[in-house]
Structure 1
Amino acid sequence: MRVIYAGTPEFAVPALQALLTAGHEVVAVYCQPDRPAGRGRKLTFGPVKQLAVAAGIPVEQPLSLKAVEEQDKLRAYAPDVMIVAAYGLILPQVVLDIPRYGCLNIHGSLLPRWRGAAPIQRAIQAGDQETGVTIMQMAAGLDTGDMLYKVVCPITPQDGGQSIHDNLAKQGATALLHTLDLLEAGKLQPEVQDDTLANYAHKLTKAEAQIDWTQPATVIDRTIRAFDAYPVAFTVYEGQPLRLFASSLRTAPPSPALPPQGVKGAVVPGTVIAESKSGIDIATGDGVVRILSLQLPGGKRLTAEQFLNGRSLLGVQL
């Protein structure tokens, strides 16, 4: 099939590679404009553009697809289908109508559960036990189009936003090829979404990454794991942000190493009540969170064991 592929970040790379390997004719790749990156703030090619350039595919990077000139340029490629994966630009209805088979989206959730910008992180935050990839026929609404194919991915207590992201990127590539096979064979069976089951996955913000230790341990643990790639959860230690990358729920009985503080018989939320090679245990509003990986400003990401080498947090209130 003649394919236009629209995607920008790492999530969209496996599907583009799968299209090329499978022998589909990718006539053009659309990416967002190059952005400054690194300490030197140099303009840098995104992951999808890097692959496209290496494969010798024409790359288009319009600021918007609302201009008639851009729409005419896209139409000139005469695509059978346009595949969209984390592209980052809104596609007007006129663009959705250009390809022979319309536009298909690789969406990182089991629709209609999570629609919007951050479905992977919101699924982990909410405590969902599974997520997945939905190949969707794009429509004018936000992730509201008919569902064409789904793949389920479990969420384990050890998973974070990055691990689920990587799994779904690979599963999305496989699901896309299967969907295109069904499309060519005329065997697709579109399923209409039930809007009553939909939730909006709000865009991630750095402001929500600060941990409130009065929340239950389950909520804090999910937040830390969900945000491990971005925006990264943090707490304040000695007036500076202490970034938290990995955690778990402690199931062992409370350590007698530290006497209760604050209210009689209770420990103040945010207090480090135990520490060992296994992790740093912090009291919360309900239960205990064990921190497994963390980072001080200007330092490297460390395991709890590495962090505690020559340092103790026991009794510190974060």
Structure 2
Amino acid sequence: MIRPCLSPRLVAAWRISRAHYSTSKTSEPLRILYCGTDDFSVASLRAVHQEHQRNPDLIDTLHVAHRPGKLGGRGNKILREAPIKSAAQQLGLDTHVIDTFTGWTPPTAFNLIIAVSFGLFVPPRILNAAKYGGLNVHPSLLPDLYGPAPLFHALLKGDKKTGVSVQTLHHAHFDRGTILEQTPYPGIDIPDPETCTPAQLSCHLAPIGASMLVDALRSRAFVPPLKEVEWYQSAELKGRRIRHAPKITKEDMHVDFKTWSSDRIIQLWDDTIYEKLCNQKDDGPKRIKIHKVSVAELDELESDIETIPEPFWSPLYGCVTHYTSDRKIICLESFTVQGHGQGKGNSFVLPRLKDHFKSMTTFKDE
């Protein structure tokens, strides 16, 4: 079941914050091919579909293109479908499975392409065939944090504010289009930036981006002449460094218990953590997935510890624990060891690693 991130309160706040304007631009009824994958793209799809039902003179048809499901889980036997597939089916929309545009011909004549968190570059052949080209919703204040992982990098870099941009699809590069809509200066506050996770930030921004996209459709912002609304490189901010937000790798998600605080570790783990676990009795490293963690304060006997030890089994908490740089304890309450029972990591670890681990390195799921 897809749970949309749409929040009426946030959408209302966005609409109040922006200046509404009328437009004399006109367009043919839109025949939209909507390309998306994740929950962030689902929010915009739902908003566009709602506008399609409310205003058929603006949007005539709406089709959805999505990536094929991927095998995962134990033994790569579980097929994981893109969240947007389920959402499109619930809305009764025609769908098209695309893993490459090479050799693919649209089944009908679309005059606007919308790509949100799609992951595939829409080639000039497809854009040129659409009278109005393409639009994209990007969760950052473009041109800053351009790239495939803006939410993660905003949190990793300690940003306090962020935003959403609606841009045209460029014929040669990702995130180089004309910015047609953008959250007002100085951006949107990241809620609880010290603990906010990428998933929480996505859910916070998704309804705002969905509303901005619908506004761009209503105002026909995609109809030439295009009006650039980018403020990030305005005179008052001239010279500010533009940052890239590349795809997240395992190295990006390496958790350093000696320098990271407990809040930062929990923030970036975001409930989808993998670790490599090694000990003297195992033949090699074991990958583990963390399902639940908690934070505990050091007691009086532990408060004078001068060095941060390796992860260890704690009889007090009944689970694997580790000290953090802010002198707290991370408790791995539930995790799964590769090749063993779901959530039974502590039961697996206890007889084997009760006293200590030889080494442990932490990674986030790709």
The 8 Å contact of residues 247 and 290 in structure 1, kept in 2 or not, is answered as no
Are 1:105 and 2:105 matched, yes or no? no
Are 1:267 and 2:317 matched, yes or no? no
The 8 Å contact of residues 133 and 168 in structure 1, kept in 2 or not, is answered as yes
RMSD: 4.0
Whole-angstrom distance in 2 between the partners of 1:197 and 1:188: 25
Which of 34, 38, 53 pairs up with 1:9?
38
Could you tell me which residue of structure 2 aligns to residue 217 of structure 1? 260
Q: Secondary structure at the match of 2:219?
A: helix
Change (3 A) 1:234 1:11: same
- The Cα of 1:241 is off from its aligned counterpart by 5.7
Whole-angstrom distance in 1 between the partners of 2:252 and 2:222: 46
Are 1:142 and 2:177 matched, yes or no? no
- Per-residue CA deviations over 1:80-116 (Å, capped at 9, x if unaligned) read x211111121111232333222211111222222122
The 8 Å contact of residues 136 and 149 in structure 1, kept in 2 or not, is answered as yes
Are 1:51 and 2:80 matched, yes or no? no
Change (3 A) 1:292 1:110: farther
What TM-score comes out, normalization by structure 1 length? 0.73
Whole-angstrom distance in 2 between the partners of 1:131 and 1:241: 34
Q: Which has the higher contact order (CA 8 A, sep 6+)?
A: 2
- Counterparts of 1:28-47 in structure 2, within 5 Å, are 28-36=63-71, 41=77, 43=79, 45-47=81-83
Which of 189, 212, 221 pairs up with 2:227?
189
2:175 partner letter: D
Equivalences, count: 295
Whole-angstrom distance in 2 between the partners of 1:105 and 1:185: 11
1:217 partner letter: W
1:226 partner letter: L
Whole-angstrom distance in 2 between the partners of 1:259 and 1:292: 17
- Per-residue CA deviations over 1:223-258 (Å, capped at 9, x if unaligned) read 54134154x2647586766655778999x8x64222
Are 1:170 and 2:199 matched, yes or no? no
Could you tell me which residue of structure 1 aligns to residue 123 of structure 2? 92
Gaps of 5+ in 2: 1-29, 53-58, 234-238, 361-366
Gaps of 5+ in 1: none
Q: Which one is further off, 186-195 or 162-171?
A: 186-195
Could you tell me which residue of structure 2 aligns to residue 201 of structure 1? 245
- Per-residue CA deviations over 1:102-154 (Å, capped at 9, x if unaligned) read 21111122222212221111111111112232111121222122222223352
The 8 Å contact of residues 103 and 138 in structure 1, kept in 2 or not, is answered as yes
Whole-angstrom distance in 2 between the partners of 1:292 and 1:148: 46
What TM-score comes out, normalization by structure 2 length? 0.65
Q: Quote the sequence identity (%).
A: 23
- Per-residue CA deviations over 1:21-41 (Å, capped at 9, x if unaligned) read 112334321111233355583
Whole-angstrom distance in 1 between the partners of 2:269 and 2:98: 30
